Amino acid sequence: MEKKVFVSGCYDMLHSGHVAFFEEAAQYGDLYVGIGSDKTIQELKARRTVNTDAERLYMVKALKAVKDAWINSGSGILDFADDVKRLKPDIFFVNRDGHSPTKERFCEELGICYVVSERVPHSGLPVRSTTALRKECLVPYRIDLAGGWLDQPFVNKYYPGSVITISVEPDYEFNDRSGMSTSSRKKAIELWHTDIPEGDKEKLARTLFCFENPPGTKYVSGSQDALGIVMPGLNRFFYNNNYWPEKIDRVKDYGLLSWLEQRLWLLPLYPRIENFDVLADTFIDKEGAMALSVASDACWNAILRKDIEGWGRASVASFEAQLRMFPNMATEDVRNALEPYKSQVLGWKLSGAGGGGYLVFVNETPVHNAIQIRIRREHME
């Protein structure tokens, strides 16, 4: 009998990349496809699908590589759990950007072979992704490399310091509530629609910051989110008892940006749960804020020197300083996902406020099942 192979995803705006993925998976056996419902996609991506789940199911089932398909019966990142237990597949097949330690653990517990594939287009055809086909996704995301939380006055009032960010091209549709500044990005899309407009980037970032935080806002988003999205390249924002930075340092050098993105790796986890409260149980004081500030400066200087070992150490020091003040950033699941990688990489941290999202690794060589990003360059201005 043929082995049963299972894949799961959204498969909106069906394109050649989807078909190539199904064909590759079908080489392992009979292919069964679980499709995320409209409700699940809304929860994970914070957007509606272009095509309804009924339309997506119809198109996927019509493909010759597919043995059978259905709408997954559950919700969340493991919306397929009950369906997989019913199907009992031999192989669970994912793209690298669809991998997560949670999925891998789920398969281990059920004795299912977990296979992670590269995104390989059909011969002669370009690489396709749904993200690239959605015009609004030209607006970048951002990653904070060190110093996150120092953009908040309730932290920087104890000790001044810097937040280091990079503006990230939207080659992937990063999950909502995952520390990639998706909430600020949605506001940028609401404000500017398709991309960051031309003009003075700091003024544009101020506009976005004010638009996201109108008068009376209970929890003010840090300005590093708006600045990190709007400003291409590598940036350092210095804060001193204020919401807006006193000083901005920008790096636009192509060589350094290429060096940086070749050594930065992201491992998908899962989105923060809706009721996650990172501000509970905090312990914020001068010692913690100073440790975060010192680690951020060390990270910046190491990157400028192209000292990857120093960058790795500073990344860990920045993360540990964050955890000292905000212990809820790293849940038990996050710690379990991180632990196997500590001996394999030079540095690590969590994206954004943690609680899920993405593990951010620093390493010279490829990191198992991790993805890489592209930094938006200055020529986009």
Give residue 379's pLDDT. 59
Q: Which helix (H) or strand (E) holds 183?
A: helix 182-192
Token pair, residue 131, equals 């993200």
Judged by DSSP in three states, 123 sits in: coil
Give residue 341's pLDDT. 96
Residue 40 contacts by C-beta under 8 Å, 6 or more apart in sequence? 72, 74, 75, 76, 79
Q: Which of 106, 180, 169 is nearest to 359 (CA)?
A: 180
- Write the single-letter amino acid at 268: P
E runs forming strands in 133-269: 141-146, 161-168, 234-239, 247-251, 264-268
Residue 188 contacts by C-beta under 8 Å, 6 or more apart in sequence? 139, 196, 208, 226, 229, 230
Give residue 123's pLDDT. 52
- How many whole angstroms separate alpha carbon 12 and alpha carbon 18? 9
Residue 240 contacts by C-beta under 8 Å, 6 or more apart in sequence? 156, 160, 246
Helices and strands in the chain, H and E counts: 14, 12
Residues of the chain where predicted confidence (pLDDT) is lower than 50: 133, 135-136, 380-381
Give residue 63's pLDDT. 94
- How many whole angstroms separate alpha carbon 375 and alpha carbon 243? 25
Phi-psi region of 136 (alpha: psi -120 to 50; beta: other; left: phi over 0): alpha
Q: Under a CB-based contact definition with an 8 Å cutoff, are residues 188 and 137 in contact?
A: no
